[in-house]
Structure 1
Amino acid sequence: MYPAVLIVDDESTIIDSLDGILSDDGFEVIHAFNGYEALKKIDSYSPDIVLLDIWMPGMDGIDTLKEIKRHHPHLPVIMITGHGSIESAVDATKSGAFDFLEKPLSIDKVILSINNALNFRKLEEENRYLRKKAIEKNSITGTSPAVQKLYGEIMAAAPTDASILITGENGTGKEMVARTIHQFSNRPEGPFIIINCAAIPEERLEPELFGHEKGAFEGASAKNRGKFELAAGGTLFLDEIGDMSINTQAKMLRALESKTFQRIGSSRTLHMDVRVITSSNKDLESEIKEGRFREDLFFRLNVIPIHVPALRKRIEDIPILVDFFLTQLAEKSSAPKKTLSKEAVELLKQWHWKGNVRELKNLMERLSIMVESESIGKNDIPAPYNPDIETFPETGEERNRIFTMAQLDQAKVAFETEFIRLRVDQMNGDLQAAAKQMGASLNFIKKRISRS
C-alpha cells in the first residue's frame, strides 16, 4: 500500500506539478485547494502526510495546521510557501509543522522531507505501541474497590512533577505503581531509573546517587555519573527510602530543595531535571519519632502520598491475578495456558498472603512448572496454602510431590528449586540476601530460578 499525500495549495499549477512527480515516485496523491476542503479530505481519506501552503484565501495555512493538529495530532504536516520568513517558520514549527519548505520547490528536498516525516511517524507509532505494552505490563491488575481507588490516585498524580511517596507492604507492587506513574507522566520518553536504598551499603549509596570523579575516594578508578544525572528528563525511583542513612538524607534534602548537586570530588554544580518518586514499607512517621528519618525530608517527599493495598485487602482480585500470571507464563514458555479450578481459587482466597502479589505470582509459576495437567485442581495446591497436604514440620514444604518423582536428578532439581524459592520469599525477593543465607552463589540462584 502506497503512502497517501494530501497537497493543499490554491495554485493548481503547484498541485499538478507535485502530483505528477509524487505519483511517479509511488505516492497516492490527494488534492485540496483551501483549508476547509483539506480538513474534509483528511477525514475522508486519512492521508499519511500533508503538504500545506501557508498563503491561501480564507483559512490560511497556519490556522489549517492548528486545526489538523487539534484533531489529528500525529499526522505529519510539511509547510510550503512562496513568501518565506523567519516569523512564518517559527509560527509553523510552534504549531506542530514537521518541516518548512520555500518555493520554488526543490523536488529532491520535497521527497527527502516527505520520507523523513514518514519515517518519523513510523518511529512515533512504534514508540506509542511500546509504551502501550509497557503500560499493560506494569499496570496494577484488578477491579476491586481498593485497586480502583489506587488507579484514581495514580492518574491524578501522574501528570504533575510533584514528589510522590508510595507506601505498602513488601510484594504489593510499589515499583509497578512507580512505573505506571512514569508512563502516564509528562516525561514518559525519559529514563526511569531505580535505586534500591536497602540493597546498597551506606558508603556506596551517596556515590550511586550523585556520582563521583576519578580518585574522589579509594576505589574510584574512573569518573561515574550518578543516578540523578542518568535520570535527567525522566523519573528517579528511590525504593525503600526508609533505609537511607541520616547523613545521606541530609544531602538528599539539599539536592531536592536547591535542584542542584555535585559529584563527589567535584566543585562543579549540576542542575537537576528529575521527577522523584520514593517508596517505603516502613512507617516513616514512626521512624521520624525514633530519630531514624528526617521530618523535613519526609515532608519534601510526601507531597502526594499513595498507599498500595495488601493482597488480603483485595481478595476479590485473586482470580484476575491468577489468570494474568498464568497467561504471562504461557507466553513466556510458549506452552498452552494452564487454568485453576474454582475450588483451587477459593482455596487461595483463604490464605493470608504475607508476601502479597509477589507471593501469588511465585506460586503460579511453581504450579505451572510442577503440575503436568493443563487444569490445576484443589489437590494440586501445595502446602502451606492447602491444609490437606502433608508437610515437613520443619519447613512446611509439601512431602508428596517430590517423593513421587521417578528420577533422582529430577527430584534433586525440584527440591533445590523449591528450597531456593522458599528462601527468596523469606528475603522478600532479595536474591543476593537469599544467596548469602544459603551459602550459594548469586549466579546459581538466578540460573536455578530462570530454568524452573
Structure 2
Amino acid sequence: MATAHILVADDESGPRGLLRQLLAREGYEVAAVEDGEQALELLRERHFDLVITDLVMPRVDGLELLREVQRSGDATVCMAVTAHGSIESAIEAMRAGAFDYLTKPFTRNALLLQVERALEYGKLQSENRHLRREVRDKYKFANLIGDSPAMQRIYRIVGKVADSDATVLIEGESGTGKELLARAIHYNSRRADRPLVPINCGAIPKDLLESELFGHVKGAFTGATTSRAGRFELADGGTLFLDEVGEMSPDLQVKILRVLQEQEFERVGGTKTLHVDVRIIAATNKELEREVEAGRFREDLYYRLNVVPITVPPLRERSGDIPLLIHHFLEIQNERRGSRCRFTEEAIQALSNYPYPGNVRELENLVERLVVLADDPVIGVEELPPKIRNTPPHAATLPMNLPPEGLVLKEVLEELEHRLIDQALEMSGGVKSKAAKLLGLNRTTLVEKLRKRGLLEEEAKRPAPAPPAG
C-alpha cells in the first residue's frame, strides 16, 4: 500500500514539530510549513493526501488555505487544528472545506484516529471520482454504436438535449437500448455528478410503486416501521429515469404530473411538502399516444413527458448496424474472458439476416453465449443456432408501414439504397460493373455513390497497376 503524504501548516514551531514527529513515526511522509502561503506553494508543486492546518496563522490563515484547497478541485482532504476552539470556528472550518476539526491540546490517539478517518474518506472520494470518470467515459456519445441514418438522427437529438433540463420521452420495443440512451443523456449533462436514479414502473407492484417513488413516513402502512426516502428524493439534483412509464396506474399518473409541474410532493402518510430539483427521463415500450386515445394514459401527463420525443427503431429496421454491434459485443466478451474469438464473414452475414425480436439485448446475449460455448476461436455459421442459420437472407427489412411518429423519408430511402448496393456488391463478388448491372445503374454512378459513403478511400490509395510490358 502506498504511503500517505501529509502536509502540516502551523506557525508555532512546537506543535508543528510534534505533529511532524508523531505522524512520521506512523510511517507517513510528512512536510511541515509555517503558514498558509508556504502550504499553497507546496501544494502547487506536488500532491498531498491530507492537509492538517492551524486556523490562526500570519499572511494566509487556515480558513483561506482550506478555501483554496477546496477551490482547486484537488483530491486533498483537510483537517483543522487550533487552540482557539469554539463551535463557531468549527462550523466555519467545515464550511471552508475541512473534513474534521481537532482542538489543542489533543492526545496522540485522538490525532491518529482522526488522520486515519480522514485518509480513508479521501480514499473513498478518490475511488468515487474514478468510478464516475469510468461511467462518464462508458456513456460518451462516441461510444454509442450505430451508423444507420435513424440512429445518427437520434444521436444528434441526444447531443442537443443532454445539457438542458428538458424532459425526454424515449419510446421503443424492449431491448432496443432505451436505458443506454437515458444514461448517455444524464452522464453528458451538467447533472452528471449527481445521481441517476432508475425505477422500472412495470416491475414493482402498483400498491408499492407510490411508496418507492415518493417515500413514506413511519406508520404510513403496515410494515412501515421507519421513514424512508423515495426515488424522487434520492434523485434530487440529478435525474430520475422512469422506465416503462406506461405501466403506471391513473391515480399515480396524477401525482407524477404534480411533481413535473411543481417539483414538490409529500411522502406517503406524510403532510410535509418536499421540494426537489429533478430532471425526468421516461421510457416505454408502448405507443403512449395510442394509450392516451384508449384512455389508459393521461393526456396532460403525456404532453408533460413528451417535450423531447425519441423513438428508437427495432434492430430489424437497422440491420446495417448489426456487424458493428457484433464486433462491439465480441470485443467486450474477449476482454472479459481473455479469449480471442472472432466470427467468420459468413457467420456475420447470417447473424445480420436474423430479425431479432429481442433487439439489441438478444444480440448481446447471443454473442456472449457463442463465445462461452466456442470450442474454437473462429466461430462459423455451423456454430450458430438453427433459427439463425435457417433465416433467409435479408429477412430484416425496412419498415413498410409509416410509424405513428413519422419518419424522414430521405433517410429511409438512403438506408434502403445503401443496403441494396451492399447486397449487389456481395452477389457480384465485389465486381462493380456486375453490381451496377444488378442495380440498373451505370458503373460511374455506382462508383460515385460508393465514394460518397467513403467506401473507395482504400482503393484510391492503392497504386495503379503497371501497364503490361512490351
With the shorter chain as reference, the TM-score category is 0.5 to 0.7
Q: Which residue of 2 aligns with 1:271?
A: 274
Tell me how far 1:178 sits from its aligned partner: 3.4
The structure-2 alpha-carbon separation of the partners of 1:228 and 1:23, relative to structure 1 and needing over 3 Å to count, comes to closer
1:260 aligns with 2:261: no
Aligned counterpart, 1:110:
111
Q: Distance in 2 between matches of 1:80 and 1:211?
A: 40
Check 1:131–1:316 CA distance in 2 against 1; reply closer, same or farther (3 A cut). farther
Kindly indicate whether residue 253 of structure 2 is the aligned counterpart of residue 249 of structure 1. Answer: yes
- Output the TM-score relative to the length of structure 2: 0.66
SS at match of 1:250: helix
Relative to structure 1, the CA distance from residue 206 to residue 189 in structure 2 (aligned partners, 3 Å threshold; closer, same or farther) is: closer
Larger radius of gyration: 2
Q: How does 1:8-407 map to 2 (within 5 A)?
A: 8-84=9-85, 86-132=87-133, 141-142=144-145, 144=147, 163-181=167-185, 186=191, 192-197=197-202, 222-223=223-224, 229-230=230-231, 232-234=233-235, 236-257=240-261, 259-261=264-266, 263=268, 266=269, 268=271, 271=274, 273=276, 276-308=280-312, 310-311=314-315, 317-329=321-333, 334=337, 336-386=339-389
3-state SS of paired residue (2:175): coil
Q: CA deviation at 1:272?
A: 6.1
SS in 2 for 1:365: helix
Which residues of structure 1 form unaligned runs of 5+?
391-452
CA distance in structure 1 between the partners assigned to 2:370 and 2:61 by the alignment: 65
CA contact (8 A) 1:255 1:261 kept: no
Q: Shift of residue 354 of structure 1?
A: 4.7
Paired with 1:110 and 1:213, the residues of 2 have a C-alpha distance of: 40
Q: Distance in 1 between matches of 2:111 and 2:206?
A: 58
> Quick one: structure 1 residues 120 and 61, their matched pair in 2 at CA, closer, same or farther if it must change by over 3 Å?
same
The answer to whether the aligner puts 1:7 opposite 2:11 as a matched pair is no
Give me the whole-angstrom Cα distance separating, in 1, the residues matched to 2:212 and 2:109: 50
- What SS does the corresponding residue of 2:60 show, helix, strand or coil? coil
- Counterpart-to-counterpart distance in 2, 1:28 and 1:213: 49
Q: 2:41 & 2:156 partners in 1: Cα distance?
A: 37
User: Which residue of structure 1 lines up, in the alignment, with residue 410 of structure 2?
Assistant: none
> Structure 2: how far apart are the matches of 1:213 and 1:17?
51
Q: Over the residues paired in the alignment, what is the CA RMSD in angstroms?
A: 4.2
- 1:426 alignment counterpart: none
- How many Å apart are 1:312 and its aligned residue? 5.7
Q: Is the 8 A contact 2:214 2:232 kept in 1?
A: no
Tell me: CA distance 1:247–1:105, structure 2 relative to 1, closer, same or farther (3 Å): closer
Classify the secondary structure of the residue corresponding to 2:234: coil
CA distance in 2, matches of 1:366, 1:344: 14
**Equivalent residue of 2:97, what SS?**
coil
Q: TM-score, normalised by structure 1?
A: 0.68
Deviation by residue 1:250-277 (Cα, 9 ceiling, x = unmatched): 34324544522453xx464563646543
In structure 2, list runs of 5 or more residues that go unmatched. Answer: 394-470
Distance of aligned partners of 1:224 and 1:367 in 2 relative to their CA distance in 1, 3 Å threshold: farther
Check the 8 A contact 1:5/1:49 in 2, yes or no. yes
The 2-side partners of 1:363 and 1:373 are apart by 16
Count of aligned pairs: 383
